[in-house]
Amino acid sequence: MTSAPSPAGQLAALLPDLSPLRSSADFRLLWIQGLVTYFGSFMALIALPLQIKELTGSPLAVGAMGAVELVPLVVFGLYGGALADSADRRKVILGTEAGLGLLALVLLVNAALPDPMLWPLYLVAGGVSALSGLQRPALDSLMARIVPHEQQTAAATLNSLRWQFGAITGPAVAGLVVAYAGHATAYTVTVVTFAVSVLLCLRLAPAPPAQDNGKPSLRGIAEGARYAWSRPVLLGTYAVDLAAMFFAFPNTIFPFLADELDADWSLGLMYAAGSVGSLVLGLTSGWTSRVRRHGLFVVFGAAAWGLAIAAAGWFTDVWLVLVCLAVAGAGDMLSGLGRSTIWNQTIPEELRGRLAGIEVLSYGVGPQLGQVRAGAMAGWTGTRSAIWGGGVACLASVALLTAALPKLLTYDSETDEDAVRRREAGEASPSGV
């Protein structure tokens, strides 16, 4: 007869699984690099829309950032996926990281002018979108190579925790820095963090393609798209995330929500609240490594996101709004863990780059379109209705997509054909219940 686990044992079972940091030197390097660069990136992410708001006073002008970023993200995201399958992924990551640092330098120079110009802000926003589209497939597809297959959920959790740290500290510090030291100081921090990031990326091991796929081509991109289209589970992960972000991503109009609630002091907290919720889930995520029904994560996480965003738009008490945004962040992280695990458990190595390019579109295009939707709807119907209406639409779309793609709900890493095929090819499947 076995004894019940002690309270200490129960607590330990909830803590994040750190095994990927112990088992992979390259994962440790990328984790630290991301920790540094995310902090700087979020400084710029907050300073940039605030600067556009100050220069124009228009929610539509702020939301237009999404339109500017959309086409580069689509084009370079797809190309970056093909590039990741045909080039050394280390070189792709290093080159794009250096380019992002140069764009941050442009923001710094413009902010230092006596009269900062508006057009460079949109130009840099488009350039960042293009370089991010090139980089993300290489980064994402590298995870399956440098982290053991059975540790993919743990790696996704650690990557999310790293991102959440930047998302919490970056906006909170950026709000103070911009208010008391100006935009130029915030952009200076961003430039420094990218310089450190490049130095860390130089220490990564080479990551040549698994096989000779030739040069990136439309035919190669189409091959990846056909594979994704033939897999209902993958389609479900892409579609649910795209719908959730399109309908319920109100971050771009947070400055106007803070004004409407007569709580300008809360702007940094609004940007950070979602990450606080994600962080809480991540710090108690040990149980996720023992689950194999990751499609449930995707669906329930996206539904929780939509419901919480709807509530955030409905309430008028700023503290209730912040709580709702934190709950939304936890739901988004749960959905993200499910997506990342399914992708890395089921996609063949020779297609990982191109499928990662499609993944960039699913979680990148949605927020960009969501910014445009939120900004336009806020200008027409008001800020709060743009938020709660988007949350309701998110809930409805998740329900419809789940009904249309039922295999997403029934996904099981022990029985799914693609997951089994990866395991039979020599990749261990995660244990769980």
Distance CA 255, CA 65 (A): 14
Is residue 247 within 8 A of residue 393, CB to CB? The reply is yes
Report the pLDDT value the prediction gives residue 27, as an integer from 0 to 100: 92
| DSSP one-letter code for 266 | G
Output 216 or 30, whichever has higher pLDDT.
30
Q: Give the number of residues written for the chain.
A: 433
Is residue 54 within 8 A of residue 183, CB to CB? The reply is no
Report the pLDDT value the prediction gives residue 95, as an integer from 0 to 100: 94
Conformational region of residue 217, where left means phi above 0, alpha means psi within -120 to 50, and beta covers everything else:
beta
Distance CA 94, CA 96 (A): 6
Output 11 or 389, whichever has higher pLDDT.
389
pTM: 0.73
Output 14 or 252, whichever has higher pLDDT.
252
Report the pLDDT value the prediction gives residue 211, as an integer from 0 to 100: 67
Report the pLDDT value the prediction gives residue 48, as an integer from 0 to 100: 87
Distance CA 167, CA 39 (A): 7
Going by C-beta distance under 8 Å and a sequence separation of 6 or more, which residues neighbour residue 356?
81, 84, 136, 137, 138, 140, 141, 343
Show the tokens assigned to 124.
Answer: 């840099």
Query: Would you say residue 355 has pLDDT above 80?
Result: yes
Under the banding of pLDDT at 50, 70 and 90, the label for residue 208 is: confident
pLDDT tens for each residue of 166-201:
777 777 787 778 778 888 888 999 999 999 999 999
Show the tokens assigned to 344.
Answer: 């890395």
**Spatial CA neighbour of 321 closest among 246, 249, 384:** 384
Report the pLDDT value the prediction gives residue 43, as an integer from 0 to 100: 82
Q: What is the mean pLDDT of residues 3-19?
A: 64
Show the tokens assigned to 309.
Answer: 């965003």
CB atoms closer than 10 angstroms to residue 158: 24
Alpha carbon distances (Å) from 42 to 37, 177, 298, 417: 9, 12, 25, 39
Report the pLDDT value the prediction gives residue 325, as an integer from 0 to 100: 95
Show the tokens assigned to 409.
Answer: 């709900």
Q: What is the mean pLDDT of residues 18-41?
A: 89
Query: Would you say residue 433 has pLDDT above 70?
Result: no
Average pLDDT of every residue of the chain: 84
pLDDT tens for each residue of 303-346:
999 999 999 999 989 999 999 999 999 999 899 888 888 887 88
